Amino acid sequence: MTATLLAGCLVLATSCGAAPPANQAASAVPANPPAVANPVTTTPTTSPKKGPEPVKPTGDAINVHKVRWTKAKAVSKRKIQLTWWSGVAPCTVLDRVKVKETAKRVTITLYEGTSPKAKNVSCIMIAIEKTTTVTLKKPIDKRKIVDGAK
C-alpha cells in the first residue's frame, strides 16, 4: 500500500512540470490571431478640486428638507461661509438659505432638494463637501451662530 501511494505521488510530482502535448499547444493559439489595438492611455486634464464646492441657492428644488451644516466661518463682519456635506447635483441642490437674526443669535438654516432637471437622471451616491456664503443685515459682533436644522 505504501509503495502504491509513493508511486502515485511520484507520478503526480513529475507530471506537473511536463509540457502539454503538441496538439493542445497548437489549439490554444489561433492560426490568425485578431488584431489588437494599441492601449489607450488618458491623462486627466484637471486636478481634483481642493476644498468644498461653492454653490448658490437655486430656489426651484422639489422635495425640500433642512440640512445640517458642519462649519460656519466669518469671512467679514457681515459675511458667513457655511460648509456641509451633500450629494451630487442635479439630484441634490441647495434650494434656499434662511437667516434669522436677533440681538444674541444668528440662526442659519440650509434647505436642499432635487432639481427639476433631475428627471430620468442617474446620480452617483457619493458625498460632496459644499459651501455657500451668507450676507447678514448687521455685523456678527459677539452674536452666536446657530444651525437651524438641529
10-19, 41-50, 73-82: range with lowest mean pLDDT = 10-19
Band the pLDDT of 44: cuts 50, 70, 90: low
Would 40 be classed as within a structural domain?
A: no
Would 123 be classed as within a structural domain?
A: yes
Mean pLDDT, the chain, whole residue set: 82
Q: What predicted TM-score, i.e. pTM, was given to this entire model?
A: 0.67
Would 135 be classed as within a structural domain?
A: yes
Question: Hey, what's the cell of 3?
Answer: 509503495
Q: Which residue has the higher pLDDT, 75 or 120?
A: 75
pLDDT tens-digit map of 87-97: 999 999 999 99
| Start-to-end C-alpha separation, the chain | 79
- What's the domain range around 90? 53-147
Band the pLDDT of 134: cuts 50, 70, 90: very high
d(CA 87, CA 148): 20
Would 72 be classed as within a structural domain?
A: yes
pLDDT given for residue 120 in this prediction: 87
Would 64 be classed as within a structural domain?
A: yes
Would 67 be classed as within a structural domain?
A: yes
Domain count, the chain: 1
Would 21 be classed as within a structural domain?
A: no
pLDDT given for residue 26 in this prediction: 47
Could you tell me the CA-to-CA distances from 103 to 30, 76, 113, 138, 141 in Å, in that order?
83, 18, 31, 10, 10
Would 26 be classed as within a structural domain?
A: no
